């Protein structure tokens, strides 16, 4: 089944075509394209929702045209459309959802609404469809930090989550307060490469309590206070970025270990924007080696928001017969645990 995926929940317009029948030397992913609004929002130090919606309106259709041409896929060969229906910014979601739903109607093919975090969670399977269920998923993005026990597609049990800032949000806010670029994750990570180990040691929040929840807001404040009372030279800044990143990574690793042991599972999947972080990838590889477990990440470009993960998740659900009728809606606050396994929709 050949599916067009559309992602527009925040500040990236992502489109892709996934074909479950590809194989035979051809990759499942026939093509993908991304338009990032980063420069548009950079001067505000964060995403401006109205600007995001308007830019999705301008970019989505031309990007789909470009994708079809580049991947040499005829529109009339598509068999389904998947779009992100939440969680995310209401206006931004509505753009992708209405375009996706309208295209499917015009082409006379089914459409399906996809949960953005399910897209992230399944992203490592795009290149590695043999990853077996069950696994523990660490979802680390700008809006979410969650540990989820995944029994199958749509079968998600929340084990723990952030009680305040998400990991990506902590990176973004810390970067902003330290005068670094937006988005904060990559800029802190680049600066941290020049930092020295052992100069500062920051707290690992909530690791001395039982449970699998997180809290990164205090660490952000601790980092900013340290920054304000430090020398403002480049080396001090890099040392602070290093200590902050090390504390986030360490905290995530400690909780991953705890989660794997709690549910007696040997497989960890890590996804979402922060899973692009090199130090996190390295640390989790070390962790699973010691535990005799395995860890899977998406390829770096599919860690952050993209259309491929929506096309892939959509393909799985459409193949099972799940569809969205014409009266589509978006759900800006949509808990992952509300999802169910794909089921045939009866109209
Ligand atoms: O998944 P994503 O693209 O969007 C959401 O669904 O939120 O995640 C974006 C987040 C941002 O907070 C960004 O700063 C963070 O992922 N991020 C990183 C890195 N690359 C992106 N954080 C740490 N290190 C990185 N290399
Ligand atoms: Zn995301």
313-341 pLDDT, tens per residue? Answer: 999 999 999 999 999 899 999 999 999 99
- Please check whether residues 137 and 238 belong to one and the same domain: yes
* Pocket flag, ligand 1, residue 184 (CB < 6 Å): yes
Whether residue 75 contacts residue 107, with contact meaning beta carbons closer than 8 Å, is answered with yes
- Please check whether residues 159 and 269 belong to one and the same domain: yes
Classify residue 234 as exposed, middle or buried by CB count within 10 Å of its CB (0-12, 13-18, 19+). Answer: exposed
Helix (H) / strand (E) containing 130: none
* Pocket flag, ligand 1, residue 305 (CB < 6 Å): yes
CATH of the domain at 326: 3.30.420.40
Q: Which residue, 177, 192, 181, is CA-closest to 226? A: 177
The verdict on residue 105 lying in a domain is yes
- Please check whether residues 285 and 320 belong to one and the same domain: no
Domain that holds residue 20: 2-123+302-338
Between strands 145-152 and 135-140, the pairing is: antiparallel
Decide if pLDDT at 45 tops 90.
no
Domain count along the chain: 2
- Please check whether residues 178 and 327 belong to one and the same domain: no
- Please check whether residues 104 and 142 belong to one and the same domain: no
Q: What's the gap in Å between 234 CA and the centre of ligand 2?
A: 31
Report how far residue 63's alpha carbon sits from residue 293's, in angstroms, rounded to the nearest whole number: 40
User: Before 195, cis peptide (omega within 30)?
Assistant: no
Decide if pLDDT at 23 tops 80.
no
The verdict on residue 347 lying in a domain is no
Sequence-ordered list of residues with C-beta below 8 angstroms from that of 186, at least 6 positions apart, any chain: 276
Question: Using CA of residue 222, residue 225, residue 230, residue 236, what is the dihedral sign?
Answer: positive
User: Before 87, cis peptide (omega within 30)?
Assistant: yes
DSSP state of 205: T
- Please check whether residues 189 and 166 belong to one and the same domain: yes
Please give the average per-residue pLDDT across 8-30, as a whole number. Answer: 86
pTM of the model: 0.97
Whether residue 12 contacts residue 41, with contact meaning beta carbons closer than 8 Å, is answered with no
Q: What's the gap in Å between 273 CA and the centre of ligand 2?
A: 6
Between strands 155-161 and 111-115, the pairing is: unpaired
Mean pLDDT of the chain: 96
- Please check whether residues 149 and 270 belong to one and the same domain: yes
Please give the average per-residue pLDDT across 241-260, as a whole number. Answer: 98
* Pocket flag, ligand 1, residue 186 (CB < 6 Å): yes
- Please check whether residues 46 and 142 belong to one and the same domain: no
Phi/psi at 142 (nearest 5 deg)?
A: -75, -30
The verdict on residue 42 lying in a domain is yes
- Please check whether residues 163 and 243 belong to one and the same domain: yes
- Please check whether residues 69 and 176 belong to one and the same domain: no
pLDDT in tens, 133-146: 999 999 999 999 99
SS3 letters across 65-85: HHHHHHCCCCHHHCCEEEEEE
The verdict on residue 346 lying in a domain is no
DSSP state of 27: -
* Pocket flag, ligand 1, residue 5 (CB < 6 Å): no
- Please check whether residues 29 and 62 belong to one and the same domain: yes
The verdict on residue 36 lying in a domain is yes
pLDDT score, position 26: 55
- Please check whether residues 276 and 222 belong to one and the same domain: yes
């Amino acid at each position: 089944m050949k599916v067009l995926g559309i992602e527009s929940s925040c500040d990236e317009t992502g489109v892709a075509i996934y074909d479950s029948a590809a194989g035979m030397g051809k990759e499942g992913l026939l093509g993908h394209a991304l338009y990032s609004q980063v420069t548009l929002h950079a001067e505000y130090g964060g995403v401006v929702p109205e600007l995001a919606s308007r830019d999705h309106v301008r970019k989505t259709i031309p990007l789909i045209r470009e994708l079809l041409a580049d991947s040499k896929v005829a529109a009339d060969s598509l068999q389904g459309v998947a779009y992100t229906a939440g969680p995310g910014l209401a206006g931004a979601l509505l753009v992708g959802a209405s375009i996706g739903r309208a295209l499917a109607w015009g082409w006379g093919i089914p459409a399906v609404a996809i949960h953005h975090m399910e897209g992230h969670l399944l992203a490592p399977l795009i290149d590695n469809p043999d990853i077996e269920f069950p696994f523990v998923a660490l979802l680390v993005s700008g809006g979410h930090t969650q540990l989820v026990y995944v029994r199958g597609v749509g079968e998600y049990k929340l084990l723990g989550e952030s009680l305040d800032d998400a990991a990506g949000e902590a990176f973004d806010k810390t970067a902003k307060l330290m005068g670094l670029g937006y988005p904060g994750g990559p800029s802190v990570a680049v600066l941290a490469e020049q930092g020295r180990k052992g100069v500062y040691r920051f707290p690992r929040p909530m690791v001395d309590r039982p449970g699998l929840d997180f809290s990164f807001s205090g660490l952000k404040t601790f980092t900013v206070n340290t920054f304000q009372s430090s020398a403002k030279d480049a080396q001090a800044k890099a040392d602070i970025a290093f200590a902050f990143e090390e504390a986030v990574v360490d905290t995530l690793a400690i909780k991953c270990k705890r989660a794997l042991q709690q549910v007696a599972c040997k497989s960890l999947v890590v996804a979402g924007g922060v899973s692009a972080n090199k130090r996190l990838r390295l640390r989790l590889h070390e962790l699973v080696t010691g535990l005799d477990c395995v860890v899977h990440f998406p390829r770096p470009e599919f860690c952050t928001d993209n259309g491929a993960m929506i096309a892939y998740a959509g393909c799985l659900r459409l193949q099972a017969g799940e569809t969205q009728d014409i009266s589509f809606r978006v759900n800006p606050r949509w808990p992952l645990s509300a999802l169910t396994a794909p089921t045939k929709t009866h109209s």
